[in-house]
């Protein structure tokens, strides 16, 4: 038997409103558990499942979906081989990689995000652990729900529309209804911006989550070899953050390390928050040093962006430049307000180029941003401030 049942439990919302998901895993038991976990949310529908990449592509031809949950290690065609084919053939679909937490799988997951995957989840190590992992279930449901909404927005703004859009349009009994479904575009509330003033920052802070690794690589590379320390919090577990630091270092040509307790801050270094620790900066006499905190999760995250920003604002005040990139939730918004109150300046990624416009959207709506920019302009804007004080 190659696939789990399409639906494990009835949904409490109409089929057209539920986020439609394809689950791909070579283990029948895991497919069934993932499907049940997702359908228990009530607003997610697992419309199909598959045991390898070839079957996943075949399922996608017959079952329009918003999100694919894709295992990495499978026979016949593994996830990393199937991913670029899915991205190419179904550009509006969001892909979440799923794997157990090993260094090898972390490396592959980061590669997958560079190839177009939107996010990843780390599966518990056994089916028994998976069955009882409430935290994993909540994370999976949250990411699928959020990315499903993002897929719908992307499809609604696409001239061709996604397979799901075309599927719904074909089902609609009224031509007017179908047209409305295909052309409706979610509105973005008006944003109040504070003009960016010319200034030379002493430090740069970046916060990111869903879609963040690929966004970080792009921004850091564009920033180049500036003479300010860069502090980054990306929502990731420990095994991932150590590998991400290596990737950022190779991509930027700068030293990038996971922050360690008591590490002196050097202006030529990029500091990444390690998994499960908040990254802070403290004064030690005349020196600035890294402090790692085991304090409570904030915004359901540890590491979180807000505590990093608060500590940096206390140290750098009006000499801090902040960028909030793509990510779910609102982490970074309150911290950005605190930074702005201290005189720091804030940039957020725009909705069109964000995988999920949660964190940057919340920050933009807080009214403290000096600019809301597409991803390909953020690194250059930071570099201009870092190298020239932001002056034309």
Any idea which residues carry the catalytic annotation? Answer: 209, 235, 331
| Cα Dmax for the chain | 72
User: HSE (CB half, 13 Å, CA atoms) of 220?
Assistant: 32
DSSP symbol at 47: E
Strand partners of residue 345: 321
270 vs 193: CA distance, rounded Å: 28
Contact between 278 and 302 under an 8 Å Cβ cutoff? The reply is yes
Query: Length of the chain, please?
Result: 392
Identify any residues that bridge with 71 across adjacent strands, giving them in sequence order: 98
Closest CA to 126 of 112, 139, 136: 136
Cα–Cα dist 17/141, whole Å? 15
d(C-alpha 345, C-alpha 350), whole Å? 16
Alpha-carbon span 191 to 369, nearest angstrom:
9
Name the 3-class secondary structure at 75.
coil
Using an 8 Å Cβ cutoff, are 349 and 215 in contact? yes
CA atoms within 13 A on the CB side of 173: 0
Taken in order 290, 291, 292, 298, the sign of the CA dihedral is: negative
Looking up tokens 């986020």 gives 19
* Alpha-carbon separation of residue 286 from 138, 259, 292, 315, 387 (angstroms): 44, 19, 19, 12, 25
């Amino acid at each position: 038997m190659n696939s789990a049942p399409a639906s494990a439990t009835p949904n409490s919302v109409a089929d057209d409103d539920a986020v439609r998901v394809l689950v791909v895993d070579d283990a029948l038991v895991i497919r069934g558990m993932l499907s049940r976990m997702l359908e228990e949310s009530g607003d997610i529908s697992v419309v199909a499942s598959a045991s390898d990449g070839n079957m996943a592509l075949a399922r996608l031809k017959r079952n329009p979906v918003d999100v694919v949950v894709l295992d990495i290690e499978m026979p016949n065609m593994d996830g990393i081989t199937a991913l670029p084919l899915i991205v190419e053939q179904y550009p509006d679909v969001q892909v979440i990689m799923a794997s157990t937490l090993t260094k090898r799988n972390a490396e592959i997951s980061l590669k997958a995000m560079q190839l177009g995957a939107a996010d990843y989840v780390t599966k518990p190590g056994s089916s028994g652990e998976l069955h009882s992992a409430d935290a994993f279930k909540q994370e999976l449901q949250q990411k699928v729900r959020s990315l499903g909404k993002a897929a719908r927005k992307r499809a609604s703004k696409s001239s061709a529309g996604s397979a799901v859009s075309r599927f719904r349009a074909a089902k609609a009994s009224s031509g007017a209804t179908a047209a409305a479904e295909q052309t409706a575009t979610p509105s973005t509330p008006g944003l109040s911006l504070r003009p960016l003033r010319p200034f030379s920052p002493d430090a740069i802070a970046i916060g990111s989550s869903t879609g963040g690794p690929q966004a970080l690589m792009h921004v850091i590379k564009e920033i180049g070899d500036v003479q300010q320390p860069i502090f980054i919090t990306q929502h990731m577990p420990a095994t991932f953050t150590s590998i991400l630091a290596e990737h950022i270092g190779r991509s930027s040509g700068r030293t990038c390390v996971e922050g360690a307790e008591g590490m002196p801050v050097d202006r030529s270094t990029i500091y990444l928050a390690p998994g499960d620790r908040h990254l802070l900066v403290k004064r030690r006499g005349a020196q600035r040093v890294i402090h790692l905190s085991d304090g409570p999760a904030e915004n359901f995250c540890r590491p979180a962006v807000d505590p990093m920003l608060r500590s940096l604002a206390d140290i750098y005040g009006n000499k801090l430049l902040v960028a909030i990139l793509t990510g779910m939730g609102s982490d970074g918004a309150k911290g950005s307000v605190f930074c702005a109150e201290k005189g720091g300046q804030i940039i957020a990624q725009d909705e069109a180029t964000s995988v999920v416009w949660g964190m940057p959207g919340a920050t933009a709506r807080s009214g403290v941003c000096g600019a809301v920019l597409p991803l390909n302009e953020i690194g250059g804007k930071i570099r201009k401030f870092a190298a020239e004080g932001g002056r034309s």
